[in-house]
Structure 1
Amino acid sequence: MGSQATKKEEKYIDIEDLLKESLSDKNVTGDKEDMVLEYLCQTISKTDSYDALQRKARDGDTYAYIQLASWHISHAKNIKDYCAAYHYALKASKHGYVESYYILGQLYLYGTGCIKNVHKAIKYLDIFVHTMSSKDLLNDSVLTDAYLKLATAEKKLGHYAKSCQYYTELQKIDPQYETEAREMLSLLQNNRKEFTSFAFYIVIACLIVCGTVYFLGSYLLNEYSNYAGRYKIEPKVTIIEKETPAPQPVVVTKPTIEVQEPVTYTLVSESVFESLGFQTIPVRGISSTSEYVSSKGNYYGATNLLDSSLGTSWQEGEEDGGIGQSIHFTFDTSVMVSAMCIYNGKQTSEEAFFENNRVASFTIFDDDLCVELTDDMQPQYIVFENPLLIDNLTFTIQSIFSGAKWNDTCITKIIFYE
Structure 2
Amino acid sequence: MINLTKHMTLGALLLFGMPVFAGQSCAQMGATELVRSQLYCASSVLAPQSGNTYGPENLFDGNFRTAWCEGVAGNGEGQEIYVRIEDGIPFRRLLIHNGYAKSTDTYRSNGRARSIDVLTDRGDRIRTVLPDTSSEVVLNLPGPIEYHELRIRIVDVYPGAKYQDTCINLIIPDFEYERSLEFQ
Give TM-score scaled by structure 1 length: 0.32
Q: Which has the higher contact order (CA 8 A, sep 6+)?
A: 2
More helix by percentage: 1
Q: Does 1:355 align with 2:109?
A: yes
Distance 2:73 2:114 in 1: 17
Residue type at the aligned position of 2:42 = S
Residue aligning to 2:141: 384
What does residue range 323-334 of structure 1 map to in structure 2 within 5 Å? 323-333=77-87
Post-superposition Cα deviations, 1:263-315, rounded to whole Å, max 9, x if no partner, equal: xxxxxxxxxxxxxxxx9757521111100002444211001111121111101
Contact 1:335/1:389, CA 8 A, preserved across alignment:
yes
SS at match of 2:147: strand
TM-score by length of 2: 0.69
1:338 alignment partner, SS class = strand
Amino acid at match of 1:401: Y
**Structure with the higher strand share, 1 or 2:** 2
Corresponding residue for 2:90?
336
Tell whether 2:131 aligns with 1:374.
Answer: yes
Q: Residue in 2 aligned with 1:315?
A: 69
Give me the whole-angstrom Cα distance separating, in 1, the residues matched to 2:110 and 2:68. 12
Aligned to 2:173: 416
Letter aligned with residue 393 of structure 1: L
Cα contact 1:281–1:417 (8 A) shared by 2: no
* Matching residue's letter, 1:347: A
Contact 2:36 2:88 in 1 (8 A): no
Residue-by-residue CA offset, 1:82-115 (whole Å, 9 max, x unaligned): xxxxxxxxxxxxxxxxxxxxxxxxxxxxxxxxxx
For residues 380 and 293 of structure 1, the distance between their equivalents in structure 2, rounded to whole angstroms, comes to: 27
| Cα gap change, 1:411 to 1:325, in 2 (>3 Å) | same
Give the letter for the 1:354 counterpart: R
Q: What percentage of residue pairs aligned between the two structures are identical? A: 27
Aligned counterpart for 1:394 among listed residues 148, 151, 161: 151
Conservation of the 8 A alpha-carbon contact between 1:281 and 1:416: no
Count of matched residue positions in the alignment of Structure 1 and Structure 2: 140
Match of 2:117, as an amino acid?
T
Aligned equivalents of 2:34, 2:138: Cα separation in 1: 13
Distance 2:76 2:156 in 1: 9
Distance in 1 between the 2:34 and 2:135 partners? 19
Question: Counterparts in 2 of 1:297-312, with a 5 A limit?
Answer: 297-312=51-66
Q: Which residue of 1 aligns with 2:46?
A: 292
Q: Residues 104-115 of structure 1 correspond to what in structure 2 (within 5 A)?
A: none
Letter in 2 for 1:398: V
Q: What's the RMSD between the two structures over aligned residues?
A: 2.1
